[in-house]
Amino acid sequence: MGEFKRIKIRVSAESAGMLLPEDQIAGACSALREKLTALDLAVLAVEPEEEPPVEFPESLEKELG
């Protein structure tokens, strides 16, 4: 019979950038934590990270303004 080794796999993941109102950020992090826990993963940290502002093309700014 083959040799067995006890291992752990550590993963870092990152979502695509999202535009959320400040009052929904904690809920989005909580929902992600619940989904990962349902997959039987030990969640070490779920932290939002602020993205830099998006530069809109001048033509789009005129349409929005």
Query: 32: how many CB neighbours lie within 10 A of its CB?
Result: 14
Q: Average pLDDT, whole number, for the chain?
A: 84
Q: Which is nearest to 15 in space by CA: 23, 6, 7, 25?
A: 25
Please enumerate in sequence order all residues whose Cβ is within 8 A of that of 25, keeping only pairs 6 or more positions apart, or say none: 48
User: What is this structure's pTM?
Assistant: 0.60
* pLDDT attached to residue 31: 92
Determine the Cα–Cα distance for residues 58 and 48; give it in Å rounded to an integer: 29
Taking residues 7-29, what's their average pLDDT? 87
